Amino acid sequence: MEGLVHISELSWTTRPAHPSEVLKVGDEVDAVVLSVDRANQKMALGIKQTEANPWEIFAAQYPLGTRLSGKVKHLTDFGAFVELSDGVDGLLHVQDLSWTRRYNHPSEVLKKGQKIDVVIMGADSESRKISLGYKQLTADPWSDIVQRYAAGTIVEGKITKIANFGLFVELEKDLDGLVHLSELSMRIAPEESGRTKEGVVAKLEASFKVGDPVKAKVLRVDDDQRRIALSMKRIE
């Protein structure tokens, strides 16, 4: 009598593309009977069921809000997979890296193999998904930021990035404001460099460079979008 072990029933933690990655003909294995179809003389077996489900164990041991350490296993455009225990990974989404900065890619702040502390934000043992937070290790500073950077406040900072739409200015650690092109003390005419992205950046780089100290006025703080609009021309 034979039974079929579907590829999805081989392991709780790995997803082999083919059974030959974990088994070979002649191997003796323990299995659990999952179902029996007497009419069609079929039997479904499971190998992973001979062991406890590590995802259920993890969810029971680490409830939501638990802080623990893990190792960055893989980086993607949308976040980082962090190994929390043997065979159990969680996803740290790029938007949960910082309260105040917007990273385009997790590699801007993390690297493969790096050990980091994270917070358990969600866990679904059935779908084997765990969501993690990094910025949640600290309190959200935006309520205080809204008060400290009221409209009209004069601030000083350093240019951290030059973009085709303006300058990013660091107001404090991990907190930038944006001076839009229209709020610069200089004017970029529409005909200059055809107003291409490269042309605008080249024009700005002729007058500014990353690291330059600048003074600006706070125009507004968008709490929902978490953005601070600045002006350099309005303090002159």
Least confident of 21-35, 103-117, 170-184: 21-35
pLDDT at 11: 73
Domains parsed from the chain with CATH numbers? 4-50 (no CATH), 54-137 (2.40.50.140), 142-235 (2.40.50.140)
pLDDT at 193: 45
Residue 190 scores a pLDDT above 50: no
Question: What are 81-111's pLDDT values in tens digits?
Answer: 999 987 788 999 999 999 888 888 999 999 9
Least confident of 3-7, 47-51, 166-170: 47-51
Q: How far from 127 is each of 12, 81, 94, 132, 179, CA to CA, in Å?
A: 11, 16, 21, 15, 44
Q: Are 66 and 119 in contact (CB under 8 A)?
A: yes
Q: Which of 38, 49, 57 is nearest to 11 (CA)?
A: 49
b/e 175-200 (16+ beta carbons within 10 angstroms → b) = bbbbbebebbeeebeeeeeeeeeeeb
Token pair for 191: 């005909």
Mean pLDDT of 17-30: 79
Question: What is d(CA 228, CA 236) in angstroms, rounded to the nearest whole number?
Answer: 20
| 11: Cβ contacts below 8 Å, ≥ 6 apart | 22, 47, 48
Strands (E) located in 49-147: 67-76, 79-85, 88-93, 115-124, 129-133
At 161, is the secondary structure helix, strand, or coil?
A: strand
